[in-house]
Amino acid sequence: MQEQTMWGHPKGLYILFFTELWERFSFYGMRAILVLYLTAQTTGDNPGLDWTSKEALALYGWYGMFVYFMGIFGGAIADKWLGQKQSVLVGGVLIILGQFSISIDSLMTFYSGLILLVCGVGLLKPNISTMVGGLYKKGDIRRDAGFTIFYIGINIGALAAPLLVGYIGETYDWHLGFSLAGIGMILGQIVYVFGRKHLQGIGDLLKHSATEAHLATKPLSKVEKDRLIVLLLSFLIVIVFWAAYEQAGGLMNLYARDSVDRLLFGWEIPTSWFQSLHAFYVVLIGGPMAVIWLRWSKKGKESSAVFKMAVGMIIMAVSFLALMGAVYDASLSAIGKAPIYWLLLSYFLHVVAELSISPVALSFITKLAPAKYASLTMGAYFAIVGIGNKAAGLLGEAAQESGVMTVFAIIATMCFIVGLLVFALVKKLKTLTHGAEDEILESPHDEEAQSIAE
Ligand code: GLN
C-alpha cells in the first residue's frame, strides 16, 4: 500500500501526535492541581482536602513513580494480548474514567481515580510511543524527526494544561479542573478513533502473522541480545538524566520561590510559571534542534543515539553548574537572592539536554528492541523514567539537610561522569548495535524477516 504522507511524514504520525497531545494535556493538567487540591483547606469557596505539604508531596512522588512504572505492565500486555493499538484505546478509556472519578468529591472515588490513571497511562504511554516507531520502516531516515515532532505535540499539551486546567481548578473549582483534564482525554480518544484508518497495520498484535508465530518460538539471537545490552546501558543514562531533570518541579521550584529574585519591572513572576518553561522551550527549539542534529549527521559526523545522549548529559551537567552560579551569586547579594537569568539559563539547558536524550531514546528503542518484545522494552524504559522520578525526589529531600549547593554539585558531577563514560564507550556500544542505526533510503518493511535472517 502506498504510504499517505503529510509534510513528509506518514499521516498516522499526526493522529498519534494529537492523541498524545491531549493525553499529556490531561496528564499534566491533573498533575498541576493535584498537590494544590490536596493541601487546600476544607473550608472556603473551593475546598480541598487539607493535607500537609509533606503528605501531599509524598502522594505526588509515589504517583509520579507508579504512573510511569506501570508502563512495564502496559508494554507486556500489548506484546502478549492486546497489541499496541488496542492498548492505547483501552488506556485512553481508563484515563477518562480516572479523571472523572477524581473529579467526584469523595475520597473513595479520588483513590480509585488515581489507580485508574496509573493503569491507563501505563497502557497508553509506552504503546503510543512504540507505534510512532512502527510508522517508519527499518532504516528510514525520517524516524528521529518523527519522534521529535511527536515530542513537540507532547509539550504543546504540557504547556497548555497548567494554564487552562490550573486556572480553572485553582480559581473556580478543583473538580471542574479534573473534569477538564478528562475532557482533554476524550478529545484525544476522538482523534484516535476517527484517525485509525491512518494507522492500518501499525501496532497490531504480532502473533497474528506466520512470521511472528515463528519468532515467538525462537530464542533471541546474538544480535538481539547485544542490542538489548546497549539498551540496558542507555537506561542507566536515562535514570540519571530524569533524576536531575525532575528537580524542576521539586527542589528547583522551591529554590525559585525562596532564593531567586523574580521581580520583573516591579512585578513578581509567580513561581509556578517556571513549571511551564520546559514545555515552552521544547516547543520553541524542538524543530531547530532536530534540524541541527540532521545537518550534523549529514556532514557525516558522529550522530549515533548514544553519542547524542552523552552530549545531553554534559549539557545537563552544565545546567547544574548554572544553578551553582545562582547559589553563589545569592550568597553575595544583599537581599540573599540570585538573579533570574541563572534559572532561565538552567531550564533552557535542561531542554537542550532533554531533546538530545528523551526523543532520541524513544526512537532508539524502536530501532533496537526485538520485535516480539517491542512494547515491553518501551514499557521498561518508562519504568526506568519512573525510578528516575523517585530518585529526583530523594535528591531533593537530601538537599533539606546538606544544602542546595551540595546537591546541585552532586548532580552536576554525576551527569559529567555519566556523559564522559558514555563518550568513552560510544564506539563499543555502536558495534553492539550491529548497524541498527544505519540509514537506508529505500527498504522493504521487513524487520522481522531481517531478524529471522540474522
Ligand atoms: N515530558 C515528556 C512526556 O511527558 C517526557 C516524560 C518522561 O519520559 N519522563 O512524555
Q: Per the structure block, which three cell numbers stand in for 316?
A: 545537563
List b or e across 217-254, with b for residues whose CB sees 16 or more CB atoms inside 10 angstroms.
eeeeeebbebbbebbebbbebbbbbbbbbbbbbbbbbb
- CA 450 / ligand 1 centre spacing (Å): 31
- Average pLDDT of 276-298? 91
pLDDT at 431 over 80: yes
- Average pLDDT of 355-381? 93
pLDDT at 117 over 90: yes
- CA 184 / ligand 1 centre spacing (Å): 17
pLDDT (tens digit, 9 = 90+) per residue, 70-95? 999 999 999 999 999 999 999 999 99
Domain ranges, ordered by start, for the chain: 11-203+221-264+271-453
Tell me whether residue 181 is exposed, middle or buried, using C-beta atoms within 10 angstroms of its C-beta: 0 to 12, 13 to 18, 19 or more.
buried
Cβ distance 70 to 125 under 8 Å?
no
- Average pLDDT of 260-283? 89
Q: Which atom of ligand 1 is nearest to the CA of 279?
A: 1
Percent of the chain at pLDDT > 70 equals 94
Confidence band, pLDDT 50/70/90 cuts, at residue 448: very low
pLDDT (tens digit, 9 = 90+) per residue, 4-17? 888 889 999 999 99
Tell me whether residue 268 is exposed, middle or buried, using C-beta atoms within 10 angstroms of its C-beta: 0 to 12, 13 to 18, 19 or more.
exposed
Cβ distance 158 to 24 under 8 Å?
yes
Which residue's CA lies nearest to atom 8 of ligand 1?
Answer: 385
How high is the pLDDT of residue 450?
44
How high is the pLDDT of residue 7?
84
- Average pLDDT of 90-109? 97
pLDDT at 445 over 80: no
Confidence band, pLDDT 50/70/90 cuts, at residue 212: low
CATH for 11-203+221-264+271-453 (3.40.50.300, 3.40.250.10, 3.40.1180.10, 1.20.1250.20): 1.20.1250.20
Residues lining ligand 1, CB < 6 A? 24, 154, 242, 358, 385
Which residue's CA lies nearest to atom 10 of ligand 1?
Answer: 154
- Average pLDDT of 122-151? 93
- CA 417 / ligand 1 centre spacing (Å): 24
pLDDT at 365 over 80: yes
pLDDT at 443 over 60: no
Confidence band, pLDDT 50/70/90 cuts, at residue 449: very low
Query: Mean pLDDT in the chain?
Result: 90
Q: Which of 38 and 448 is assigned the larger pLDDT?
A: 38
Confidence band, pLDDT 50/70/90 cuts, at residue 444: very low
- CA 112 / ligand 1 centre spacing (Å): 24
pLDDT (tens digit, 9 = 90+) per residue, 213-233? 555 587 888 999 999 999 998
Which residue's CA lies nearest to atom 5 of ligand 1?
Answer: 358
Q: What is the DSSP letter of 260?
A: B
Which residue's CA lies nearest to atom 2 of ligand 1?
Answer: 154
Residue 255: partners with Cβ closer than 8 Å, 6 or more residues away: 323, 326, 404
How high is the pLDDT of residue 271?
82
